Amino acid sequence: MPEFTKGELEIMQILWKHGEMKPAEIQEHFPWEITNSSLRSYLSILLDKGHLTRHRRGKAYFYRPRTKQESTFRKMLNELTRACCDGSVEKLLCHLIRSEKLSEDDLLELKRIAEASDEEPTSGKEKS
Residues with Cβ within 8 Å of residue 79, at least 6 apart in sequence: 2
Stretch that binds DNA, among 20-28, 64-72, 93-101, 117-125 (CB under 7 A): 20-28
Q: For residue 56, what is the enclosing H or E element?
A: strand 52-57
Please count the other Cβ atoms lying within 10 Å of the Cβ belonging to residue 11. 25
CA distance 124 to 127: 9
Residue type for position 75: K
Residue 73 Cβ, how far from its own copies at the closest point, in Å? 4
Contact between 66 and 55 (Cβ < 8 Å): no
Among 15, 42, 67, 72, binds DNA (CB under 7 A): 42
Q: Which is nearer to DNA, 36 or 69 (CB)?
A: 36
**Is the Cβ–Cβ distance between 14 and 24 less than 8 Å?**
no
Task: Report the nearest approach of its own copies to the CB of residue 5 (Å).
Answer: 8
Contact region with its own copies (CB under 8 A), list: 8-16, 20-28, 39-47, 59-67: 8-16
Contact status: 101 vs its own copies (CB under 8 A): yes
User: CB 9 → DNA: shortest distance, Å?
Assistant: 8
- 12 vs 52: CA distance, rounded Å: 9
- Please give the residues from 28 up to 67 whose contact with its own copies meets the rule CB under 8 A: none
Chain residues in the site for DNA (CB under 7 A) = 5-8, 22-24, 34-38, 40-42, 44-45, 58-61
